[in-house]
Amino acid sequence: MRLLAEAPPHHHEQHNYPSKKLFVFGDSYADTGNTRKNSPGSWKQPYGITFPGKPAGRFSDGRVLTDFIAKYLGLRSPLPYKFRKVMPQYLKYGVNFAYGGTGVFDTSFSYPNMTIQIDFFNQLIQENVFTPSDLSNSVALVSVAGNDYSFYLSTNGSDQGLPSFIATVVNQITTNLIRLQKLGVKKIVVDGLEPVGCLPIATAPTAFKLCNSTSNDLVILHNKLLNQSVTKLNQESKDHTTFVILDLYDSFMSVINDPSTNKIKDQLKPCCVGVSSKYFCGSVDENNVKKYTICENPKSAFFWDLFHPTQAGWNVVYNKLHKGALHQLQY
């Protein structure tokens, strides 16, 4: 499962690349504020309680993967695309085009899929917001956390048809990666799929005790196909290191299998849950009364809600990635 070549440690904190930029595409594992403020979840209490202290459009109690990758690159987290005209001074760090709930194809959420997100990026390049020299010193983060699969299954897609649909999704991811490379992005980082069968939505039937191995077998297929595809892209690219996979499967599993070493007490039980199955984290009733509970200490939980890690969870995942694939972002 590993494409992660170990590299000697680099002191990334001392980089002096004034024009390095991060461009982000994908879903709620990467979105830092593009979804509408009236949509459920990331703009509602108690999201954002750890950082920045109030709801700010992140699907967590605090920072998400994008924020940690930006930190690694020595950058401020890039501006959500929807704020580009309000805060143009921050465009020098890049742009976050990710929208929670989206996939490489359309899902039940009426937000731009990844093709359209890359269209937005292309439009900014056409408008000379970003120059070829900006792009030659840039990194793209591509997050695919599985919304295409949950949409497929919720619209009566068959289990038998899943393997071929997985191949279709990976082919589209590959098309997107090639397109970003052709637009001039120097390094392109793509998430492998996390162990979907260990997300609280999948472990709830066992009272958050057991991962669903059937779901995880399909994740392993997705990651195998993605690894094959990215290996081929690298063989065909000039410097053979353009594309990097972040192994979210192994990094999530290493925390789930060994929580205490990682200072995590609850590895499968989410911190924020609805008071019953008809409610979820952030739910309120018609009288605006809270219909969710929050754990005593979000820092000790790996998952924030039914789908997303806490800031502490992402921090542990980032530390695992830091030891592996992230070194390949140095150039």
Residue 311 CA, chain-centre distance (Å), reads 13
Secondary structure class of 262 (helix, strand, coil): helix
Rounded CA-CA distance 204/201 in Å is: 6
The token pair that represents 250 in the structure block: 């192994």
Which residues, including other chains, have CB under 8 Å from residue 108's CB and lie 6 or more apart?
A: 101, 151, 154
**Catalytic pick among 134, 138, 305, 327:** 305
| Active-site hit among 28, 77, 138, 215 | 28
Q: Cα–Cα distance between 61 and 6 in angstroms, integer?
A: 31
- In whole angstroms, what is the distance from residue 128 CA to residue 45 CA? 38
Cis peptide, bond prior to residue 52, ω within 30 of zero:
yes
Tell me, yes or no, if 138 is annotated catalytic. no
Can you read off the two tokens belonging to residue 108?
């039940």
Quick one: CA torsion of 151, 156, 160, 161, rounded to 10 degrees?
-60
Using left for φ > 0, alpha for ψ between -120 and 50, and beta otherwise, residue 39 falls in: beta
The alpha carbons of the chain give a radius of gyration, in whole angstroms, of: 19
Question: Is 308 one of the annotated active-site residues of the chain?
Answer: yes
CB contact at 8 A, 140 and 185: yes
Helix 213-236 and helix 162-182, axial crossing angle in degrees, nearest 10: 30
Distances (CA, A) of 39 to 49, 50, 149, 204: 18, 20, 21, 24
Instruction: Identify the residue whose tokens are 């353009």.
Output: 242
Q: Is 305 a catalytic residue?
A: yes
Residues with catalytic roles: 28, 305, 308
